[in-house]
Structure 1
Amino acid sequence: MNHLILSFASPDRPGLVDTISNVIKQYKGNWQTSSLHHLSGFFAGVIEVAVSEEESQALVDQLNSIPDFDCIIKVANQSSSNKGKVTLELTANDRSGIIQEISSTIHHHGGNLIKLVSSRQSAPHTGVELFTATANIDVSEDKLDTLIGALESKADDIMVDISRD
């Protein structure tokens, strides 16, 4: 069984997910995990598909033939981590470079960023733009406190809530 990772962007149009899912079903693929988003007139996402080795190339070829659908497809090697999984809920005043600050701090303190979902929203009562993010990371237990301290020291306004998976 192959695990294909599809990363795509396409001008948004009705029926795009239906088209993708029909192709995957046609080649007996199993849609595993995904993250799909409408962004500035485009529909973009990442999908993991499990498919037999025999059907993999035909599936890839068919996905690549969808009109106006820019897709990069990789075969994944599944691996396991020996670190602990931690979820960080981050809130701060929005500013340029905040993702770089967060990702750099995680990297330099021994963490591996597994998933990041971020957004901007207006703060209640003040209207100030807030950055919020949920970050799933792998990090050794003995490095977690140092990592959290480093994140919180990046700015006076950053708040970090932690949950262990």
Structure 2
Amino acid sequence: MADLAVTAVGADRPGIVATVAEVLQERGGNVEDSAMTILGGRFAIVLIVSTDDDPDQLRAALESATGELGLVVSVSRTGTTRRPDEPTHLLSVYGADRPGIVAGVTRTLAELGANITDLETQVVGRDEPVYAMVIEVVAVDGGLDDRLSAVCEQLGVDHTLRTIEAQTY
């Protein structure tokens, strides 16, 4: 069996996950890893699937089953069997919304050799909106908080950084 990366994006509506999961089950595929979310009324799904299908076969089956749902489907080989490292730190950034927050913070993380494993952003509150970004990273602690403090000060936002001991579900 090969691992394939499956993505599907479309207008949010009931039945998307069920339809995709049923196609995978019918074809003997197994979902190994997944992330799903709604952004701006669009539903996005990313799956790592173990299957005997090649990418074109699985894409055709998914497109056929999800045609009425209006999804844009992509399937490709993962090209790796390496499991990602568990995140070591949780970074929260918050303040007034403005362009450049994501770029500035993520550039700093990249320069420090930190790998982002998950990133979510959201503007919360109506009367006094606050931009909030939460990032899980794999990083060596040396100088991380000092560099983040400097970039966050330049961007006019606050941050908290804490280590993650173990992730439990």
The verdict on a shared fold, with TM-score over 0.5 as the criterion, is: yes
Taking only the aligned residue pairs, the percentage that are identical comes to: 21
Question: Could you say what secondary structure the match of 2:102 adopts?
Answer: helix
Matched, 1:155 2:152: yes
Could you say what secondary structure the match of 1:155 adopts?
A: helix
129-138 vs 90-99, greater mean Cα deviation: 129-138
Give the aligned partner of residue 59 of structure 2: 60
**C-alpha distance in structure 2 between counterparts of 1:106 and 1:11, whole Å:** 32
Structure 1 residue 84 displacement after superposition: 7.2
Partner of 2:77: 75
Q: Give yes or no for contact 2:58–2:75 (8 Å, CA) kept in 1.
A: no
How many residues are aligned here?
A: 156
Question: CA shift at 1:23, angstroms?
Answer: 0.5
Deviation at 1:118, TM superposition (A): 2.1
The whole-number CA distance in structure 1 between the counterparts of 2:113 and 2:38 is 33
**Which sections of structure 1, spanning at least 5 residues, go unmatched?**
none
CA distance in 2, matches of 1:78, 1:24: 20
Q: Secondary structure at the match of 2:7?
A: strand
* Equivalent residues in 2 for 1:70-149, closer than 5 Å: 70-76=72-78, 77-80=80-83, 85-93=87-95, 94-122=97-125, 127-139=127-139, 141=140, 144-149=141-146
Higher strand share: 1
Three-state SS of the structure 2 residue aligned to 1:31 is strand
Q: Does the residue aligned with 1:133 lie in a helix, a strand or coil?
A: strand
Question: For the residues of structure 2 that align with 1:134 and 1:61, how far apart are their CA atoms?
Answer: 36
Instruction: Give 1:132 shift.
Output: 2.3
Runs of 4+ in structure 1 deviating by more than 4 angstroms, as ranges, are: none
Alpha-carbon deviations, 1:53-85, whole Å to 9, x = none? 3x344323211333121122221112256x773
Q: Indicate conservation of the 8 Å contact 1:87/1:134, yes or no.
A: no
Amino acid aligned to 1:133: M
Q: Which residue pairs with 1:11 in the alignment?
A: 11
8 Å contact 1:112–1:138 — kept in the other structure?
yes
The Cα shift of 1:104 comes to: 0.5
* SS across alignment from 2:88: strand
CA RMSD in angstroms comes to 2.3
Offset of 1:21 from its aligned partner? 0.7
Q: Partner of 1:3: helix, strand, or coil?
A: strand
Residue by residue over 1:20-74, the C-alpha shift from the partner in whole angstroms, topping out at 9 and shown as x without a partner, is 11101111111222221222232112122122x3x34432321133312112222
SS at match of 2:143: helix
